[in-house]
């Protein structure tokens, strides 16, 4: 385990016992009380000046909330076993939930006002907030009456939320038994991955069969949960006057169905590329064909290269310096102010994230730095998010600092690409280059091609529900297999029970959180297309790229594309992103 990497949250509060924390809590409560007294029931009569005051006051409140969120969140997720951090985090969540409920009139009344007086949107005084107000107005069209909204919350509690809980409790409490070197081993669902990356193929196979056979046995339980969660969404979407189940998601992600259809048809047209990745993997594993339990298996003889924290910093700064000095100075600021919690420790949450800190015009990052390639790639990714934040705070007010998930990964994926570019130029051995490229095309290929059938399957299930089909285990499985095979074809030797894997995809069972995957595919291809543009334009690319990063969420997604000289409504746009993927794949194939 690497040494402790210093992390410092004291820019926000000096410690968990800082009296300023309580002051902030009191300040938040009084801000909410004042806000209610001043605005509740009155917004419907506001003119542009009063709307501006309202928005500025709301932004001030959000800014104070963000101070507490950063401090409580990073203290807690850095060590979830620490009592004091748990207490503060729970207190924060509680206060936030209560205040959000008290302030729910804000969106409702503002939306109603904007529907009644649409001219307000074009008022010069409110120019800065045009896109935000436009979104509130649009969302209001799909809002139900307050009594109906309340009823939806109540029925979800014993409806979709309960189905969602059932799937997660049921799957996470199953136990499986296998035999490893003559000894019995029992494992839980959460330990599946440990076996999927085992070097011994027989162990991987046994674990895969043990899980999938058990899932098939419970197939009807999973089908009940899935069918009800999906049917509920179809019904509620209609109530909210959406013409299709995907419409709410398209609205949130600021794209339309044609853009999405173009993207998926370009992916389908280029599916052969993913098959090439799977063929390379099979070859390196010495197999004629992959089985479902070989897809993330380690390649024999490939060693994880070690990088110290110091080396990671130097590599990233050097990668960014090939692109832009401001990128370098922001990354340096993050390192120097110790705003990155990178030490792996017991009780720390898995994964990595970056949070914007508006009041301090900075960001904070959490990750577990394990001294390997994956860790430095993650660091470059999260620093990309931090850079996005710094550039945005400089130009935008807080409300405009939120963006849709389709645009959220612009700087982070770009940061990764800059690092990969540097590493590929620096490698000393062929093996090292194969290692970097194989990891890259496997990971990105999984996003672009591997997630695509997830979208097709979800769309197909909604279609089946609307046609009135009864979806039992075998009907749902047929849809799953048909979507899956459009991408994987004959490249993987599936076995009967492995067709049940849809039962274990957690986000299909998330209540009211639909079409989870496609924004990732979109974001990935969007950035790869930008990178192609960068390689073509070099110097003229940079100012435009920084302009879209600093725009934050102040303008819609299609305008970000326009600034870059790219039309996201055209199929050619997606071909550009695929081309970047193909470049890495070609490079890899040359070495195999």
User: Binding residues for Zn ion, per CB under 5 A?
Assistant: 412
Least distance to Zn ion, CB of residue 359, Å? 22
What span, in angstroms and rounded, lies between the C-alpha atoms of 53 and 57? Answer: 6
Minimal distance, residue 385 CB to Zn ion, in Å: 6
Give me the least distance between CB of 145 and Zn ion, in Å please: 37
The minimum distance between CB 553 and Zn ion, in angstroms, equals 16
31 or 527, CB closer to Zn ion? Answer: 527
In the bound state with Zn ion, the residue whose beta carbon lies nearer, of 262 and 412, is 412
Nearest to 283, CA basis, from 293, 292, 272, 294:
294
Say if CB 498 and CB 476 are below 8 A apart.
no
**β-pair type (183-188, 175-180):** antiparallel
Q: Provide, rounded to whole angstroms, the least separation between the CB of residue 447 and Zn ion.
A: 12
Q: What kind and span of H or E run contains 195?
A: helix 192-196
User: Are the CB atoms for 556 and 254 separated by under 8 Å?
Assistant: yes
412 vs 524, beta carbon nearer Zn ion: 412
What is the rounded distance in angstroms from the CA atom of residue 510 to the CA atom of residue 354? 23
Nearer to Zn ion, 120 or 380 (CB): 380
Phi, psi torsion values for 187, nearest 5 degrees: -140, 160
Whole-angstrom Cα distance, residue 442 to residue 588?
A: 11
CB of 413 to Zn ion, least distance (A): 8
Residue closest to Zn ion, measured at CB: 412
> Please, which residue, 111 or 389, has the CB nearer to Zn ion?
389
Find the angle CA(328)-CA(330)-CA(336) to the nearest 5 degrees.
100
Going by C-alpha positions, the residue among 522, 464, 455, 519 that lies closest to residue 486 is: 455
Q: What is the CA radius of gyration of the chain?
A: 25
Cβ-defined contacts of 316-321 (< 8 Å, 24+): 316/376, 316/379, 316/380, 316/383, 316/415, 316/419, 318/422, 319/380, 319/418, 319/419, 319/421, 319/422, 319/423, 320/383, 320/415, 320/418
Q: Is the CB of 412 or the CB of 554 nearer to Zn ion?
A: 412
State in angstroms the smallest separation of the CB of 353 from Zn ion.
Answer: 8
- Compute how many other C-beta atoms are within 10 angstroms of the C-beta atom of residue 463: 14
Q: Which of 167, 227, 190, 47 shows the shortest CA–CA distance to 119?
A: 47
Distance (Å, whole) CA 110 – CA 541: 39
CA dist 349 and 314 (Å) reads 26
CB of 386 to Zn ion, least distance (A): 11
Min. distance of Cβ 410 from Zn ion in angstroms?
10
For tokens 């027989």, name the residue. Answer: 202
Residue listed under structure tokens 């496609």: 518
Quote the least distance from Cβ 561 to Zn ion, whole Å. Answer: 20
Q: H helices then E strands: how many in the chain?
A: 25, 5
Q: Which among 482, 442, 106 is positioned nearest to 277, based on CA atoms? A: 442
Closer residue to Zn ion (CB): 412 or 442: 412
Residue 335 C-beta: closest distance to Zn ion, Å: 19
Q: In sequence order, what are the residues at sequence separation of 6 or more whose Cβ sits closer than 8 angstroms to the Cβ of residue 351?
A: 367
Helix axes 430-445, 373-395, angle to 10 degrees: 60
Kindly state the smallest distance separating residue 412's Cβ from Zn ion, in Å: 4
Task: Between 412 and 459, name the residue whose CB sits nearer to Zn ion.
Answer: 412
- Of 120 and 342, which has the nearer Cβ to Zn ion? 342
Query: Rounded to an integer, what distance in angstroms lies between the CA atom of residue 561 and that of residue 413?
Result: 16
* Least distance to Zn ion, CB of residue 63, Å: 23
Q: Give 88 or 408: the residue with its C-beta nearer to Zn ion.
A: 408
CB of 409 to Zn ion, least distance (A): 5
CB closer to Zn ion out of 189 and 366: 366
* DSSP conformation letters of 390-416: HHHHHH--GGGG---HHHHTHHHHHHH
Q: Which is nearer to Zn ion, 389 or 453 (CB)?
A: 389
User: 503 and 213 in contact (C-beta within 8 Å)?
Assistant: no
Q: Give the pairing type, strands 362-366 and 353-357.
A: antiparallel
CB neighbour list of residue 285: distance below 8 Å, 6 or more residues apart = 294, 297, 299, 300
Tell me whether residue 212 or residue 517 sits nearer to Zn ion (CB atom): 517
Nearer to Zn ion, 212 or 412 (CB): 412
């Amino acid at each position: 385990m690497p040494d402790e990497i210093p992390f410092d949250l004291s820019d926000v509060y000096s410690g968990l016992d800082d009296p300023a924390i309580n002051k902030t809590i009191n300040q938040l409560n009084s801000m909410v009380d004042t806000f209610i007294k001043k605005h509740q029931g009155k917004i419907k009569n506001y003119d542009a000046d009063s709307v501006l005051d309202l928005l500025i006051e709301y932004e001030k409140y959000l800014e104070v909330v963000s101070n507490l969120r950063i401090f409580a969140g990073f203290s807690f997720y850095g060590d979830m076993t620490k009592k004091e951090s748990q207490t503060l985090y729970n207190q924060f969540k509680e206060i936030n939930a209560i205040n959000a409920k008290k302030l729910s009139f804000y969106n409702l009344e503002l939306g109603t006002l904007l529907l009644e007086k649409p001219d307000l949107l074009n008022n010069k005084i409110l120019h800065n907030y045009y896109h935000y107000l436009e979104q509130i107005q649009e969302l209001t069209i799909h809002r139900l009456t307050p009594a109906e909204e309340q009823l939806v919350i109540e029925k979800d509690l014993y409806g979709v939320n309960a189905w969602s809980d059932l799937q997660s409790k049921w799957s996470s409490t199953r136990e499986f038994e296998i035999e490893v070197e003559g000894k019995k081993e029992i494992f839980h669902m959460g330990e599946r991955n440990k076996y999927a990356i085992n070097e011994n193929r027989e162990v991987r196979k046994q674990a895969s069969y043990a899980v999938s056979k058990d899932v098939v046995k419970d197939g009807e339980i999973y089908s009940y949960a899935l069918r009800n969660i999906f049917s509920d969404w179809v019904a509620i979407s209609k109530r909210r006057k959406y013409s299709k189940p995907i419409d709410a998601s398209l609205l949130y992600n600021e794209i339309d169905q044609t853009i999405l259809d173009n993207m998926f048809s370009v992916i389908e047209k280029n599916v052969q590329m993913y098959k090439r990745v799977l063929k390379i993997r099979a070859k390196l594993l010495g197999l004629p064909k992959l089985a479902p339990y070989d897809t993330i298996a380690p390649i024999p003889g490939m060693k994880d290269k070690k990088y110290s924290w110091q080396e990671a910093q130097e590599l990233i700064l050097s990668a960014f310096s090939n692109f832009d000095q401001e990128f370098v100075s922001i990354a340096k600021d993050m390192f120097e102010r110790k705003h990155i919690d990178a030490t792996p420790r017991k009780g720390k949450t898995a994964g990595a994230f970056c949070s914007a800190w508006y009041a301090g015009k900075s960001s904070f990052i959490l990750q577990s730095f394990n001294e390997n390639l994956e860790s430095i790639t993650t660091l470059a990714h999260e620093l990309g998010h931090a850079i996005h934040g710094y550039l945005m705070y400089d130009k935008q007010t807080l409300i405009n600092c939120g963006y849709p998930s389709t645009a959220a990964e612009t700087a982070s994926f770009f940061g990764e690409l800059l690092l990969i570019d540097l590493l590929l130029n620096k490698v000393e051995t062929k093996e090292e280059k194969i290692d970097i490229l194989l990891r890259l095309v496997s990971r990105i290929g999984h996003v672009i091609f591997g997630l695509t059938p997830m979208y097709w399957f979800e769309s197909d299930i909604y279609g089946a529900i609307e046609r009135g089909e009864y979806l039992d285990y075998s009907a749902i499985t047929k849809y799953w297999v048909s979507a899956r095979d459009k991408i994987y074809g004959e490249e993987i030797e599936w076995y009967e029970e492995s067709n049940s894997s849809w039962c274990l995809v957690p986000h299909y069972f998330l209540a009211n959180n639909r079409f989870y995957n496609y924004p990732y595919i979109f974001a990935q291809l969007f950035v790869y297309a930008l990178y192609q543009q960068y390689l073509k334009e070099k110097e003229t690319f940079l100012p435009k790229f920084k302009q879209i990063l600093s725009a934050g969420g102040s303008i819609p997604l299609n305008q970000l594309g326009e600034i870059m000289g790219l039309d996201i409504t055209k199929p050619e746009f997606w071909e550009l992103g695929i081309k970047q993927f193909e470049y890495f794949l070609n490079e890899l194939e040359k070495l195999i």
